[in-house]
Amino acid sequence: MTTSAEHSTESAEQSHLLEVRDLAVSFPLAGGDVQAVKGVSFSVAPGRILGIVGESGSGKSVTARAVMRMLRPPGRIVGGSVQYLGKDVLTLREEEMRKVRGRDIAMVFQDPQAALNPAMRVGDQVAEALEVHGVGKAEAKARARELFEQVGIPEPERRLKFYPHEFSGGMRQRVVIAIALANRPKLLIADEPTTALDVTIQAQILDLLRQLRDELGIAILFITHDMGVVAELCDEVIVMHHGRIVERGDVKDVLSRPVDPYTVALMDAIPKMDAPLRADAPSAEAKPVLEVRELKTDVNLRRAGLWRRATPFYAVNGVSLHVDPGETLALVGESGCGKSTLSRTVVGISTPASGEIFVDGAPVQGPAERRPRHVTRAIQYVFQDPYSSLNPRRTAGQSLEEALAIAGVPRQEIRRRSIELLGRVRLGPEYLDRYPHAFSGGQRQRIGIARALASDPRLIILDEPVSALDVSIQAEILTLLRQLQEQYGVAYLFISHDLAVVREISHRVAVMYKGQIVEHGTTEKIFGSPEHSYTRALLSATPDLQGALA
Q: What's the pLDDT at 398?
A: 94
Residue 462: Cβ within 10 Å count: 27
- 243, exposed or middle or buried, with CB in 10 Å at 0-12, 13-18, 19+? buried
Residue 8 has pLDDT above 60, yes or no: no
Residue 5 has pLDDT above 50, yes or no: no
Q: Pick the most confident of 53-67, 235-249, 266-280, 305-319.
A: 235-249
Q: What's the pLDDT at 316?
A: 94
Is beta strand 328-332 parallel, antiparallel or unpaired with respect to 379-382? unpaired
Per residue in 391-442, pLDDT (tens digit) is: 989 999 999 999 999 888 999 999 999 999 999 999 999 999 999 888 877 8
| Long-range contacts (CB closer than 8 Å, 24 or more residues apart) made by 246-250 | 246/1, 247/1, 247/2, 248/1, 248/2, 248/3, 248/4, 248/42, 249/2, 249/3, 249/4, 250/2, 250/4
Find out if CATH 3.40.50.300 is the number for domain 290-300+310-539: yes
In the chain, domain spans = 290-300+310-539
231 — alpha (psi -120 to 50), left (phi > 0) or beta?
alpha
Select the more confidently predicted residue: 13 or 21: 21
Residue 311 has pLDDT above 70, yes or no: yes
Q: What's the pLDDT at 389?
A: 80
| 380 closest CA partner among 515, 389, 522, 470 | 389
The region of weakest confidence among 193-202, 330-339, 521-530 is: 193-202
Arithmetic mean of pLDDT, 254-268 = 94
Give the Cα separation of 390 and 140 in Å (integer).
47
Percent pLDDT > 70 in the chain is 95
Say how far residue 157 (Cα) sits from the centre of its chain: 32
Query: Mean pLDDT score of the chain, rounded to an integer?
Result: 89
Per residue in 68-127, pLDDT (tens digit) is: 999 988 999 999 999 999 999 999 999 999 989 988 999 998 778 888 999 999 999 999
Arithmetic mean of pLDDT, 497-525 = 95
Residue 12 has pLDDT above 80, yes or no: no
Q: What's the pLDDT at 308?
A: 61
Residue 506: Cβ within 10 Å count: 26
Residue 13 has pLDDT above 60, yes or no: no
Sheet holding 328-332, edge to edge: 379-382, 459-463, 491-496, 328-332, 508-513, 516-522
- 279, exposed or middle or buried, with CB in 10 Å at 0-12, 13-18, 19+? exposed
> What predicted TM-score, i.e. pTM, was given to this entire model?
0.82
| 355 closest CA partner among 303, 302, 298 | 298
Q: What's the pLDDT at 309?
A: 64
Per residue in 505-518, pLDDT (tens digit) is: 999 999 999 999 99
